[in-house]
């Protein structure tokens, strides 16, 4: 959050506010940590007693309030660090708070054990009382992958068709239930019947039972179990009530029902309990602060049912996770839940220009369900740029034009790090990536596949889990036959049955099984080795450094070897990742603590020092800010997304609008909106109309740009000028020879060749050393080459007026001009000449397709076309085609088949 300018001295304040602001711990002077706060922030910080809701708009210094509030509580001696419960949603937010509190109060943060995410605090509580829900305190935390495999087993065990009832679907369903705090007994009958031939409830129950057997908990359980413990054991609850004097919650608008219930248990003391907690003097501090602050700020508190000092900070306008179970309602009804709550609005924005705020504010005002805030700024500079709206013909052009704008800003000395492209859906990223690769523009994709989610990391983790937790069957299953040890289906099934019959974990069962002769000698020996390995490794757990142990395990198990022998393109990257894994373990003092970290954090952090444009979804942009923000794809159907509209109705639309609001408010100086008239969706070209959100922007803060004007050398044109005529030209002058379909056909027939393929591409090769630079899939290089080639072919054309010139931006944004271009819905759009094809050059010159020949050294076949051959299964036939060692043979009886050279004999 912006730490920017301090508030002006307390002018324009009421006397009481000033008096309040001046009230410090000693007499008179406020402590310096309060000095930079504006009056509202200060109110939010100093209203320590009683329930407080801080409605913090985007860029109003929310994090600052939260951290200062904690610092204030500590500095005034109202509580010990261990008596403050502070919850955030993400690890990142928790980390940031920790550092910032550290800066404010020094080392005391080390003693803030209860600052963390909902889940990490849930784990903490659960570990203390695990036995109350049938777990041991060293339970494992399952990731989604484990979960799905487990569910699949259960579905199969129930003799259900796992095609018809996919495990993933059920996992999502169950996730939804858990988000709502529903245990198997409590799920609605309808939900229960909707899955697995009406056996949803049984399945859920079976799943929970299995988790207990496995001594495991999934993410949902990290909240649900504590809820159960706290509501069933009043003494434990009372204990936590006594412990937590102050509760703070970040991003309250994102809490789901389960989190809400959890919080309410901790925050709302029943009246009966209040009498049993007289003044809390047992804790060694008095509830009344040394400076004599009254327990509750007088003008605000009304005296209600709760006594805990809970402070929730959030912004209803930024609630964008409804689809994940978040309930905006939680924040909307805060005052009902906590009667007499003080509500502080932070509306003074330190981030964006007045134009950006004006645009965002006008847009979000179209929502009905909101508490209502209007952001304002004191900065105003006539130089400030308005929010721009630009049209492009299609997404490719959009990417091209954005790329050019970025390069132009860069030439003016702007840092790429200060720019971001925020998209609605991740498929939009690709076009930008491709474009930037051809430009050699550094970019960084935020989000996407995470370090700990990678295959090799999960495998490695499974080994480590088995060592720490011999009962972790899921982990064991994952790696018994990885690397391949000849333990196939048959052997594993036998092991399973054996284990189930005895009711013991797989590893233990394996140890026993190998002493019998139930397995064939080969698998038996293999399994015996696995068992011996694990026994040995477990023994060394206490004697060896965990990093050394991990290295040894990966080595001795043959896992590293497996990748070393793998000749595929991704193998080196995977090995690198494994090294990185071991390296990152170094920061943790033991294997179990590392395992827990991985389960909860799921991501490795990496410093990113490169200057690069960020590309990410709007969702992952929440909480960030950039000097310049590009918001492409503002079209109906994409944004607002059709699916949100279909499934969410009005509230779905409102959530989309909040997303738009989030997007706009990420920008500090410049926000640039784009929409295209044609977009390819699932391979079909669709005409699109501009997003309704564009119409919800106030004219006075928005400039409508004719795309090419700013850099095409054609001079700026006013809004609406020439729009229709250029559009006409565009619509009717293009020949069908320029349709992508036609060009594709040309390319496929092998017409053109690439000449410039040696552009510099700069990106991190394998993504191993930074979660931010997207992991390069093995195919990525060839994809890049493909586009470099394409650019080469078009290089000459680039300087010409692009089709962008004719983008058909016809004055009124809403006019569905593109829908009436006189072509069928699914026909590819016609582009003006000049992009990849040049009419002057007399024809399309687009090159697509793989440039890099798949030049695998092909083995010569000993057969030739026309040879007569014999095949064991298909009988006699004539060779029709020879491709390396693969033959296409016309068999006399069996028809044409492709067979491997080695499977036939000459006749």
Partner DNA sequence: CCCCAAATTATTTTT
Partner DNA sequence: TAATTTGGGG
Residue ranges at the known binding site = 56-63
- Decide: is 678 part of the binding site for DNA (CB under 7 A): no
- Bond into 640 cis (ω within 30): yes
Tell me whether residue 693 or residue 817 sits nearer to DNA (CB atom).
693
Could you tell me the smallest distance in angstroms from the CB atom of residue 152 to DNA?
Answer: 9
**Contact between 323 and DNA per CB under 7 A:** yes
> Any idea what DSSP says for residue 905?
E
Catalytic residue among 49, 96, 250, 596: 250
Residue 829: Cβ-neighbour burial (10 angstroms; 0-12, 13-18, 19+): buried
From 42, 666, 668, 786, the catalytic residue: 666
Beta carbons of 307 and 341 less than 8 angstroms apart: no
Cβ proximity to DNA, 394 vs 405, nearer residue: 394
Residue 318 a catalytic site member? yes
419, 600, 615, 784: which one contacts DNA (CB under 7 A)?
A: 600
Q: Encode 401-436 in three state secondary structure.
A: HHHHHHHHHHHCCCCHHHEEEEECCCHHHHHHHHHH
Q: How far is the CB of 514 from DNA (least distance, A)?
A: 19
Q: How far apart are CA 445 and CA 771, in angstroms?
A: 9
Compute the least distance from the CB of residue 118 to DNA, in Å: 7
**Number of residues in contact with DNA, rule: CB under 7 A?**
52
Cβ neighbours for 892, distance < 8 A, ≥ 6 positions apart: 875, 876, 877
Q: Which residues, 159 to 198, sit near DNA by CB under 7 A?
A: 163
Give the footprint of DNA on residues 642-671 (CB under 7 A): 643-644, 647-648, 652, 656
- 63 belongs to the catalytic site: yes
- Please say which residue, 695 or 883, places its beta carbon nearer to DNA: 883
CB of 232 to DNA, least distance (A): 23
Look up 854 and say whether it is catalytic: no
146 annotated active-site: no
Helix boundaries (H) for 137-199: 144-157, 167-179, 189-194
Would you list which residues are annotated within the binding site for ATP? 56-63
Measure the CA–CA gap between 100 and 77, rounded to whole angstroms.
19
Question: Which entry of 63, 68, 560, 686 is annotated as an active-site residue?
Answer: 63
Least Å distance, CB 848 to DNA, is 8
Please identify, using beta-carbon distances, which residue of 43 and 788 lies nearer to DNA.
Answer: 788
How far is the C-alpha of 215 from the C-alpha of 471, rounded, in Å? 8
Site string (418-437) toward DNA, x via CB under 7 A:
------xxxx----------
Counting contacts by CB under 7 A, is residue 331 touching DNA?
no
- Nearest-angstrom CA–CA distance, 39 and 36: 10
Burial 17-30 (b: 16+ CB within 10 A, else e): beebbeeebeeeeb
Q: Rounded distance, CA 401 to CA 408, Å?
A: 10
Helices (H) and strands (E) in the chain, counts: 34, 23
Q: How many residues does the chain have?
A: 907
Cβ atoms of 437 and 761 within 8 Å: the answer is: yes
Question: Of 296-304, 516-524, 679-687, 759-767, which segment contacts DNA by CB under 7 A?
Answer: 679-687
641 counts as binding DNA under rule CB under 7 A: yes
654 is catalytic: no
Please calculate the CA angle 895-901-905 and round it to the nearest 5 degrees.
80
Q: Of 141 and 342, which has the nearer Cβ to DNA? A: 141
Q: Which of 2, 76, 82, 90 binds DNA (CB under 7 A)?
A: 90
DSSP letter at 873 equals T
Q: Which of 42, 62, 269, 776 does the annotation list as catalytic?
A: 62
Pick from 119, 245, 574, 776 the residue near DNA by CB under 7 A. 119
Q: Which of 41, 64, 83, 89 binds DNA (CB under 7 A)?
A: 89
Stretch that binds DNA, among 86-94, 701-709, 715-723, 818-826 (CB under 7 A): 86-94
Least distance to DNA from the beta carbon of 740, Å?
A: 8
Query: Does residue number 620 form part of the binding site for DNA (CB under 7 A)?
Result: yes
Task: Tell me how far apart the alpha carbons of residues 273 and 262 are, in angstroms, rounded to a whole number.
Answer: 18
Q: Closest distance between DNA and the C-beta of residue 714, in Å?
A: 32
Positions in 468-497 near DNA (CB under 7 A): 481, 484, 486, 488
Query: Which positions from 191 through 230 interact with DNA, judged by CB under 7 A?
Result: 219
| 153 scored as a contact of DNA (CB under 7 A) | no
In the set 46, 49, 251, 459, the catalytic residue is 251
Say if residues 600 and 120 touch (Cβ distance below 8 Å): yes
766 lies in the binding site for DNA (CB under 7 A): no
Of residues 31 and 447, the one with the C-beta less far from DNA? 447
**Which residues lie below 8 Å from residue 70, measured CB to CB, with a gap of 6+?**
84, 86, 97, 101, 104, 112, 246, 248
Residue closer to DNA (CB basis): 427 or 737? 427
Could you tell me which stretch among 31-39, 289-297, 776-784, 794-802 binds DNA (CB under 7 A)?
776-784
Give the residue with the Cβ less far from DNA, 601 or 707: 601
Active-site position among 318, 560, 739, 771: 318
Q: How many CB atoms lie within 10 A of CB 13?
A: 15
Distance CA(314)–CA(317), nearest Å, equals: 9
Candidate ranges 69-77, 88-96, 239-247, 373-381; the one touching DNA (CB under 7 A): 88-96
Helices 221-232 and 118-129: crossing angle, nearest 10°? Answer: 50
Single residue of 379, 777, 823, 868 touching DNA by CB under 7 A: 777
Closer of 431 and 764 to DNA (Cβ): 431
Please give the DSSP secondary-structure letter assigned to residue 588: S
Burial class (CB in 10 A: 0-12, 13-18, 19+), 722: middle
- Whether the CB-CB separation of 621 and 666 falls below 8 Å is answered with yes
Alpha-carbon distance of 629 to 405, in angstroms, equals 11
- Whole-angstrom Cα distance, residue 114 to residue 806? 59
Shortest CB 478 distance to DNA, Å: 14
Residues in region 864-903 near DNA by CB under 7 A: 873-874, 886, 897-900, 903
Q: How far is CA 832 from CA 230, 392, 807, 841, in A?
A: 67, 12, 9, 14
782 scored as a contact of DNA (CB under 7 A): no
603 binding DNA? (CB under 7 A):
yes
**Cβ distance to DNA smaller for residue 176 or 295:** 176
**CA angle centred on 454, ends 453 and 460, rounded to 5°:** 100
Taking contact as CB under 7 A, which single stretch among the options 533-541, 661-669, 678-686, 816-824 is the one that binds DNA?
678-686
- Measure the CA dihedral 577/579/580/583, to 10°: 160
Instruction: Decide if 760 is catalytic.
Output: no
Site for DNA, rule CB under 7 A: 89-92, 117-120, 144, 163, 219, 323-324, 424-427, 447, 450, 481, 484, 486, 488, 600-603, 616-617, 619-620, 641, 643-644, 647-648, 652, 656, 680, 682-683, 777, 779, 783, 873-874, 886, 897-900, 903
Annotated active-site positions, please? 62-63, 250-251, 318, 666
């Amino acid at each position: 959050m912006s730490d920017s300018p301090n508030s002006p001295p307390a002018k324009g304040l009421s006397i009481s506010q000033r008096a309040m602001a001046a009230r410090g711990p000693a007499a008179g002077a406020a402590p310096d940590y309060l000095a930079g706060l504006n009056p509202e922030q200060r109110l939010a910080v100093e209203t320590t007693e009683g329930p407080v809701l801080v409605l913090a708009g985007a860029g109003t210094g929310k994090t600052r309030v939260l951290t200062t509030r904690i610092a204030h509580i500590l500095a005034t001696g109202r509580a010990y660090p261990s008596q403050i419960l502070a919850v955030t949603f993400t690890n990142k937010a928790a980390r940031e708070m920790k550092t910032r509190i550290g800066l404010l109060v020094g080392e005391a943060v080390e003693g803030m054990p209860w600052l963390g995410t909902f889940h990490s605090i849930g784990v903490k509580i659960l570990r203390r009382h695990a036995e109350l829900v049938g777990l041991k305190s060293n339970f494992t935390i399952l990731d989604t992958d484990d979960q799905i495999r487990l569910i699949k087993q259960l579905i199969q065990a129930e003799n259900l068709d796992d095609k018809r009832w996919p495990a993933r679907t059920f996992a999502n369903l169950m996730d939804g239930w858990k988000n709502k705090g529903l245990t198997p007994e409590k799920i609605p009958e309808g939900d229960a019947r909707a899955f697995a031939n009406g056996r949803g409830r049984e399945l859920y129950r079976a799943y929970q039972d299995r988790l207990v057997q496995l001594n495991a908990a999934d993410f949902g359980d990290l909240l649900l179990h504590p809820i159960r413990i706290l509501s069933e054991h009043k003494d434990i609850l009372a204990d936590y009530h006594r412990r937590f004097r102050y509760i703070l919650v970040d991003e309250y608008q994102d809490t789901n029902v389960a989190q809400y219930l959890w919080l309410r248990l901790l925050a709302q003391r029943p009246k009966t309990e209040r009498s049993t907690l007289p003044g809390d003097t047992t804790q060694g501090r008095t509830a009344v602060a040394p400076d004599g602050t009254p327990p509750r700020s007088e003008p605000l508190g009304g005296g209600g049912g709760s006594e805990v000092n809970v402070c929730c900070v959030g912004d209803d306008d930024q609630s964008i996770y409804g689809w994940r179970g978040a309930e905006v309602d939680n924040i909307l009804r805060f005052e009902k839940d906590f009667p007499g709550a003080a509500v502080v609005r932070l509306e003074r924005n330190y981030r964006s220009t007045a134009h950006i705020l004006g645009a965002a504010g006008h847009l979000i005002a179209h929502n009905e369900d909101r508490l209502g805030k209007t952001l304002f700024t004191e900065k105003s500079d006539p130089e400030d740029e308005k929010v721009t709206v630009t049209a492009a013909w299609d997404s490719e052009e959009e990417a091209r034009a954005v790329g050019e704008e970025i390069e132009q800003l860069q030439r003016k000395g702007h840092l790429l790090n200060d720019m971001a492209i925020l998209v609605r859906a991740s498929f939009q990223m690709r076009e930008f990536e491709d474009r930037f690769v051809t430009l050699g523009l550094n970019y960084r994709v935020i989000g996407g596949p995470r370090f700990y989610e990678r295959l090799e990391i999960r495998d490695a983790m499974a080994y480590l889990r088995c060592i720490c937790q011999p009962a972790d069957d899921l982990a064991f299953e994952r790696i018994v036959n990885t690397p391949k040890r000849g333990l196939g289906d048959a052997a594993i099934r036998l092991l399973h049955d054996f284990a189930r019959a005895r009711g013991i974990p797989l590893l233990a069962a394996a140890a026993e099984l190998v002493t019998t002769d139930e397995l064939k000698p080969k698998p038996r020996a293999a399994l015996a080795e696995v068992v011996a390995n694990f026994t040995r490794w477990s023994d060394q757990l206490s004697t060896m450094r965990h990093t050394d142990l991990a290295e040894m395990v990966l080595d001795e198990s043959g896992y590293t070897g497996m990748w070393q022998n793998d000749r595929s393109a991704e193998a080196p990257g995977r090995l690198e990742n494994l090294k990185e894994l071991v390296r990152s373990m170094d920061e943790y003092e033991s294997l179990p603590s590392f395992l827990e970290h991985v389960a909860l954090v799921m991501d490795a952090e990496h410093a990113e020092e490169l200057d690069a444009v960020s590309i990410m979804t709007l969702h992952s942009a929440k909480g960030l800010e950039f000097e310049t923000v590009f918001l492409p794809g503002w079209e109906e159907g994409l944004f607002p997304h059709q699916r949100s509209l279909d499934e969410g109705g009005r509230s779905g639309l409102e959530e989309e609008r909040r997303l738009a609001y989030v997007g706009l408010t990420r920008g500090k100086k410049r926000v640039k909106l784009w929409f295209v008239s044609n977009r390819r969706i699932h391979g079909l070209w669709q005409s699109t109309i501009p997003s309704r959100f564009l119409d919800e922007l106030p004219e006075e803060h928005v400039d409508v740009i004719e795309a090419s004007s700013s850099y095409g050398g054609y001079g700026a044109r006013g809004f609406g000028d020439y729009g229709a005529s250029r559009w006409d030209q565009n619509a009717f002058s293009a020949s069908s020879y320029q349709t992508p379909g036609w060009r594709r056909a040309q390319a496929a027939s092998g017409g053109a060749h690439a000449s410039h393929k040696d552009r510099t591409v700069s990106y991190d090769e394998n993504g191993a050393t930074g979660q931010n630079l997207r992991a390069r899939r093995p195919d990525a290089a060839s994809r890049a080459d493909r586009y470099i080639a394409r650019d080469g072919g078009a290089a000459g054309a680039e300087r010409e007026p692009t089709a962008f010139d004719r983008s058909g931006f016809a004055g009124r944004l809403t006019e569905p001009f593109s829908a009436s271009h006189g072509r069928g819905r699914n026909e590819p759009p016609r582009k003006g000449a000049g992009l990849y094809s040049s009419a002057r050059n007399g024809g399309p010159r687009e090159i697509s397709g793989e440039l890099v020949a798949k030049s695998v050294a092909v083995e010569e076949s000993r057969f030739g076309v026309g040879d007569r051959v014999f095949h064991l299964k298909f009988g006699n036939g004539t060779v029709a085609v020879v491709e390396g060692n693969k033959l296409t043979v016309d068999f006399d009886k069996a028809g044409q088949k492709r067979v491997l050279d080695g499977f036939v004999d000459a006749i």
